Amino acid sequence: MAQPYSGDTWKEVNKKSKGSVSLAYVQTPSFVYVDDAGKLTGICVDIMSDFVTWLKETKKVELTTKFVGDGSNFHGMYDNVKASKGGVFGLGNITITDERKKEVKFSQPFITNFAILITQGKVSTLNKLEDMPKNFAGLTAYAAKGTLNEKRILDLKSRYYPDMKIVNTTTSQETLEKLFADPKGFAYLDLAFYLEAVKMKKSIKRHPIADKAAEQFGFIMPMGSDWASVLDEFLKANGGYTNTAQYKNILVKHLGEAGMKLMQSASKQ
């Protein structure tokens, strides 16, 4: 059952020059995660923090933010934002799709994502998707229910590997953990999860033939929200937020130099 959140509308905040909004989130490596000090941080958190600063400087508005929900799974966060009213934002690895645009409001995209097909290191590299039944024989696919990566796995099954065995998980983090535990597992995961595995020095292999780099992430808001226009104004200001040095620094901070370069190569494709 969805649990709606609430926050002040932009109209109210603009009128009173102050107000507060709720930030729902799904924990995702690099995007929204808990740092060593136990504090929520990440690309999305830093961008929202810059948005609050920009509102103060350009609109003379004091905005306070509070995190809501437990961040445990994508579906919960998405459904709760969808059911909310007023100043509520959803943060995480949220792909902009036409289907979702009918249910929630999206901001301008703030990053282009790579979805990567990964296995443990000992699985032989896939050179052609048609070779899946042979190369991945006896392997099990893991996919978080309701995500775009589950759709990708189902697409591979229908097009190349009809006998594929699929096990559903509740979160992408759980998918990653299953992959670590199962030498015969494979999954589609967002770039950030792959970078996390590399950072943890896990025996993991990327199969570049299956890379998907066309999708973009955005922040979400309830359908009735009046915040989309002002958030987009911020993201478009000064030649575009994603072209600023500040934004680049955020990517390096949370993705590392190599991760930032991969992400930027994705956006050029």
Structural domains in the chain, sorted by start: 6-110+218-259 (3.40.190.10), 113-213 (3.40.190.10)
Please give the radius of gyration of the chain, using alpha carbons only, rounded to the nearest integer. Answer: 19
* Average of per-residue pLDDT across 111-128: 91
Is the Cβ–Cβ distance between 156 and 129 less than 8 Å? yes
Which pLDDT tens digit goes with each residue over 179-200?
999 999 999 998 888 888 888 8
Q: Provide the mean pLDDT of the chain.
A: 92
**pLDDT value of residue 153:** 96
Burial of 258 (0-12, 13-18, 19+ CB in 10 A): exposed
Residue 265 — pLDDT band, cuts 50, 70, 90?
Answer: low
**pLDDT value of residue 268:** 56
* Average of per-residue pLDDT across 245-256: 92
Which pLDDT tens digit goes with each residue over 3-48?
899 999 999 999 999 999 999 999 988 999 999 999 999 999 999 9
Is the Cβ–Cβ distance between 250 and 241 less than 8 Å? no
The sign one gets for the Cα dihedral 245, 250, 256, 258 is negative
- Cα 255 to chain centroid distance, Å, stands at 13
Tell me the residue type at 213: A
Question: Is the confidence at residue 207, as pLDDT, over 90?
Answer: yes
**pLDDT value of residue 225:** 98
148 phi and psi, to 5 degrees?
-65, -30
Which pLDDT tens digit goes with each residue over 40-85?
999 999 999 999 999 999 999 999 999 999 999 888 999 999 999 9
Instruction: Identify the residue whose tokens are 């998707």.
Output: 129
Is the Cβ–Cβ distance between 112 and 190 less than 8 Å? no
